[in-house]
Amino acid sequence: MGARGKAARKRFELVRNVAKGQYENFGRDADGKPIMKQNVHGREASGEVVGAALLKEMAEEGVEVGVKASEYVDAGYNTVKNMMERYAKPLDTVQTFIDKWTWDKTHDIGKMFVYLTMKDRMMQAKPRGIAKIMPVLSKLRGVDMGEWKPMSHAEAKQAAAAFTNDAFGGQRHSKLAMEWQQKAIDNANNPKGYLYNMIALWTTPSAAKLSNLFLFSPDWTISNLRIGFRGLGMTKDILGKIKKGQKLTPKEMAEWNVYMGYLTRGVVTTSAVAYLMHEWLGDDDEEFDLQNFWLTGRLPLGTGEEMVVSKQIAEPMHWIMHPSQTFLNKSSSMPKIGLELLLNKQYISMKNGVLIGPQMDMGDPAKMAWWLAGKGTPISLSKIKRAAQDEDYGWEDVASQTMFGSIGFPTYGSKN
């Protein structure tokens, strides 16, 4: 194993031990007394939590761990979870297992590992990605286009924190508002300045809390848009500077590397996984269409259902191809329920540019009860509800689709 592999393994061991909540004693002296040292908070202590310095650093940079996103983005999650704890222990055990492995394990370990990895790369002396070709561009253009220099720890941790929050969710809204406010100042003499100022007001912490009443997971939406489009925006800016013969800073090179690297890996990996899922789960008569997959963001299975293979990578394409429908999807439950009741629809869609959806039989109390229950059912239990309603949908379908949904491959009924 090379030096890079050993460093990665060391980082992974650290974050895994942090996730376990391990405690480290400082040891004992020759007389058997506990050795006292200053902990990360500057207090005398005989030990501290493993990775305490990492957790403190991440907290200072606004990178949160230990947050279960399902509690905030899955409508009715807490209410139904409490009911399961009281009246359906087996279901509660399954949901708790899913939460533990999704958030406590995969999400938190991944978030810490990515933060450390990105920060370390930005402080390395060896150039990576676009930084490797800058000396060549300088010779070709006959001007200094910039050269790679390791970023300082302060710069690297700030940039790594921003990327990690974009990749995993968890924005620091006060910082976002300040970024948009600066854009407004820089564009004070053109119409874009007014737009940037409005966005700055909408992204303040107080506005972010209010937005949860009207939007489904605004924090996750912002993160998806940033991870999907920032790399492209940086590419445009960098190409513009190269064309003008302007010098690139190490920060610009490092950020472009991580964002465009993420986007490139995401597109290639998602395309490959989409093909494998189609071959495994798709109907034999349904041909795999890669272009259609990226244009729609969904994978038709030929069974009246569509699979979302990578929600984070595919979602920016949703905004480009179906902005009205995507905005509707991103609205919270209450506005959508009100609109569905007003229009007498089981659900509403705007993929064709107008509000459409199957009619709802409001005169049938049983159907209305099922419909209303579905609005407060956690996503992981929606398949059980469907099995109770649909004779052609068996428990094997429930098990397989729940499993795929829990690992990031949810399926939805086609609304075409």
Asked, for residue 48, whether it belongs to a domain, the answer is yes
Would residue 8 count as lying in a domain? yes
CA atoms within 13 A on the CB side of 370: 17
Angle at 395 between CA 392 and CA 400, to 5 degrees: 105
Domain count, the chain: 1
Q: Is the dihedral of CA 290, 296, 302, 306 positive or negative?
A: positive
Residue 92 lies in a domain: no
CB 299 within 8 A of CB 278: yes
Domain-located, residue 40: yes
Residue found under tokens 């949901």 = 95
Total length of the chain: 416
pLDDT in tens, 112-161: 999 999 999 999 999 999 999 999 999 988 999 999 999 999 999 999 99
Instruction: Please tell me the distance from the alpha carbon of residue 51 to that of residue 15, in angstroms, as a whole number.
Output: 7
Structure tokens belonging to residue 20: 């376990």
User: pLDDT tens digits for 324-341?
Assistant: 777 777 777 777 888 888
How far from the centroid of its chain's Cα atoms is residue 407's Cα? 14
C-alpha angle 157-163-164 in degrees, rounded to nearest 5 = 85
pLDDT per residue of the chain (416 residues) written in tens, 0 to 9: 677 788 889 999 988 888 888 888 888 888 888 888 888 778 888 888 888 889 899 989 988 886 554 444 444 556 666 777 787 788 778 777 777 777 777 888 999 999 999 999 999 999 999 999 999 999 988 999 999 999 999 999 999 999 999 888 877 777 777 887 888 888 888 877 887 887 777 777 777 666 666 666 677 778 878 887 888 888 888 889 988 989 999 999 999 999 999 888 888 888 999 999 898 888 888 899 998 888 777 888 887 788 888 766 677 767 777 777 777 777 777 778 888 888 888 878 776 667 778 888 788 887 787 777 666 555 555 666 666 666 666 666 666 776 777 666 777 766 55
State the alpha helices, DSSP H only, in 203-310.
Answer: 205-211, 218-244, 250-281, 290-296
Q: How far is CA 413 from CA 117, 352, 383, 410, in A?
A: 39, 16, 11, 10
DSSP-derived letter for residue 342 is H
Asked if residue 377 is part of any domain, the answer here is no
**Burial class of 231 by CB neighbour count within 10 A (0 to 12, 13 to 18, 19+):** buried
Burial class of residue 92 in the structure, from the number of CB atoms within 10 Å of its CB (0-12 exposed, 13-18 middle, 19+ buried): middle
Q: Give domain status of residue 55, yes or no.
A: yes
Q: Is residue 266 part of a domain?
A: no
State the residue range of the domain holding 56.
3-60
Look at residues 19, 40, 208 and name the one whose alpha carbon lies nearest to residue 111. Answer: 19
Render pLDDT for 185-216 as a digit per residue (tens, 0 to 9): 888 888 778 878 877 777 777 776 666 666 66
Would 358 be classed as within a structural domain? Answer: no
| Token duo for residue 77 | 């999650």
